[in-house]
């Protein structure tokens, strides 16, 4: 279910009341009438299904839900505030820009910005948002006028987002992610945790630690949804940094691929050369790198850690690389190619454990202890997991211990 993102102006009202402990003082601070503030707080409480303040004679104090919401809203506003300040700083007409842009920006404008930036097309963006194209145009152009910069430019393929649009879109998605986290936490406080954990998973993790973790986690949290996204590492990293994914689980990169993410090693399995049952090399006592070049291979794409390890086998032995290659990361395709031919592959034995156990595939006796590669977590450096997400991370670590 899509979670509704609250009105940005209501969020600023909430923060003012939470910080000043008074509707009267908040009214003077943000230049809004007291009835309007009261109405904004009531709408937020209705949306969240929880009281955010306790009314006392000496002021208004956040409830437990209010404290959670204050923390998440502050982090969300900071993302947008930082991005708009950067835009103004880079704008040559910054002397004409309003001082507090966040106070003038609406959630509708930000949703339009994200939709057009992702779709690169106003028509598609309007369909994705379920509103008219003219509404999206108006929201995007109003935001351009407010910021004093061009956000979208037409090109031969449609509409391209400028650097300013890309930066603000990323900040907006991270802000919206914070708000969703806050809603999850408030629901959990009321014992109705129906949150979602979104994981980007690489092949080895999908075959080992992830399924075991999901099964055990759902025994304790049956109503929590887990979305697993597959794809090339570069795509998963992009979505992680944009706030679409909470965790990437798979082979770690060194050095760390971006300065806004952190990695944590869980275990480091070695790679193995795997072939079908009764492969010609199975009977050979001492297999050399030269022997391996005599057979076709199925290997992952260039730039991946496993592909680099594959190439190192031959370059370190001083022999030419095999030439009859099929490139694929599909577990199903790799398995079928191995079973039906003399092809070889370089893979962690954990990934084909079932096939090895029923003797469809076998591991060749070729020393590869030096190919141990770290498998682990990659998360945003600024990510603040919910209690439920922290439980899932703990379970991943616990189950990974069995693979060490």
Would you say residue 94 has pLDDT above 50? no
- Whether 79 and 170 have beta carbons less than 8 Å apart is answered as no
318 vs 191 pLDDT, higher one: 318
Percent of the chain residues topping a pLDDT of 70: 97
Mean pLDDT, rounded, for 85-107: 74
Beta strands in 85-238 (DSSP E): 152-155, 158-161, 196-201, 225-229
- Whether 377 and 396 have beta carbons less than 8 Å apart is answered as yes
Among the residue ranges 160-164, 205-209, 330-334, the one predicted with the least confidence is 205-209
What pLDDT, on a 0 to 100 scale, did the predictor assign at position 355? Answer: 94
What are the two backbone dihedrals, phi and then psi, of residue 247, each rounded to the nearest 5 degrees?
-140, 140
- Whether 172 and 80 have beta carbons less than 8 Å apart is answered as yes
Mean pLDDT, rounded, for 392-402: 93
Q: Catalogue all structural domains in the chain, each as residue range(s) with its CATH number.
A: 8-171 (1.10.10.10), 193-267+375-403 (3.40.190.10), 272-371 (3.40.190.10)
> If 0-12 CB within 10 Å is exposed, 13-18 middle and 19+ buried, where does residue 320 land?
exposed
Would you say residue 96 has pLDDT above 70? no
Residue 199 tokens read as 């994981």
Residue 347 pairs in a beta bridge with 272
Which DSSP helix (H) or strand (E) runs through 54? strand 53-56
Would you say residue 53 has pLDDT above 80? yes
Would you say residue 78 has pLDDT above 60? yes
Would you say residue 35 has pLDDT above 90? yes
Would you say residue 404 has pLDDT above 80? no
Angle (CA) 352 354 356, round 5°: 70
pLDDT-derived band at 2 (thresholds 50, 70, 90) equals low
Each residue's pLDDT tens digit, 283-333: 998 999 999 999 999 999 998 889 999 999 999 999 999 999 999 988 899
Distance CA 377, CA 355 (A): 27
Angle (CA) 135 137 143, round 5°: 100
Distance CA 366, CA 83 (A): 53
- Whether 295 and 382 have beta carbons less than 8 Å apart is answered as no
Percentages helix, strand, coil for the chain (3-state, rounded to 5) are 55, 15, 30
Residue 219 tokens read as 């025994």
In three-state secondary structure terms, 339 is: helix
Residue 244 pairs in a beta bridge with none
Residue 313 tokens read as 């086998």
- Whether 81 and 104 have beta carbons less than 8 Å apart is answered as no
The pTM is what? 0.85
Beta strands in 213-257 (DSSP E): 225-229, 247-251
Residue 359 tokens read as 């003797």
């Amino acid at each position: 279910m899509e979670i509704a993102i609250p009105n940005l102006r209501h969020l600023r009202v909430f923060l003012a009341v939470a910080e000043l402990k008074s509707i009267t003082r908040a009214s003077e601070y943000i230049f809004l009438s007291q009835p309007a503030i009261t109405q904004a707080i009531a709408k937020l409480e209705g949306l969240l299904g929880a009281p955010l303040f306790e009314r006392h004679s000496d002021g208004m104090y956040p409830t437990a839900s209010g404290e959670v919401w204050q923390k998440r809203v502050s982090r969300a506003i900071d993302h947008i505030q930082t991005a708009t300040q950067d835009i103004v700083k880079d704008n040559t007409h910054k002397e004409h820009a309003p001082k507090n842009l966040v106070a003038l920006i609406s959630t509708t404008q930000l949703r339009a910005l994200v939709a057009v930036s992702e779709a690169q097309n106003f028509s598609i963006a309007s369909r994705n948002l379920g509103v008219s194209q003219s509404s999206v145009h108006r929201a995007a152009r109003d935001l351009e006028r407010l910021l004093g910069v061009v956000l979208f430019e037409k090109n031969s393929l449609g509409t391209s987002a400028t650097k300013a649009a890309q930066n603000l879109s990323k900040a907006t998605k991270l802000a919206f992610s914070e708000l969703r986290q806050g809603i999850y936490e408030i629901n959990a406080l009321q014992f109705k945790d129906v949150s979602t954990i979104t994981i980007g998973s690489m092949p080895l993790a999908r075959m080992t630690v992830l399924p075991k973790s999901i099964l055990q986690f759902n025994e304790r949290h049956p109503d929590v949804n887990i979305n697993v996204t597959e794809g090339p590492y570069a795509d998963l990293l992009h979505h992680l940094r944009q706030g679409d994914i909470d965790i990437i689980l798979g082979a770690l990169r060194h050095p760390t691929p971006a300065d806004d993410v952190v990695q944590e090693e869980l275990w480091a399995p070695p790679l193995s050369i795997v072939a079908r049952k009764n492969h010609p090399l199975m009977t050979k006592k001492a297999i050399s790198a030269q022997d391996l070049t005599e057979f076709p291979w199925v290997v992952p794409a260039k730039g991946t850690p496993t592909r680099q390890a594959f190439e190192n086998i031959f370059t370190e032995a001083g022999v030419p690389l095999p030439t009859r290659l099929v490139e694929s990361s599909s577990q199903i395709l790799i398995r079928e190619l191995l079973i039906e031919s003399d092809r070889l592959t370089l893979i962690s034995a954990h990934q084909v454990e079932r096939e090895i156990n029923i003797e469809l595939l076998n591991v060749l006796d070729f020393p590869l202890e030096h190919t141990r590669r770290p498998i682990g977590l990659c998360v945003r450096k600024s990510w603040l997991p919910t209690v439920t997400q922290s439980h899932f991370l703990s379970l991943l670590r616990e189950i990974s211990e069995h693979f060490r």
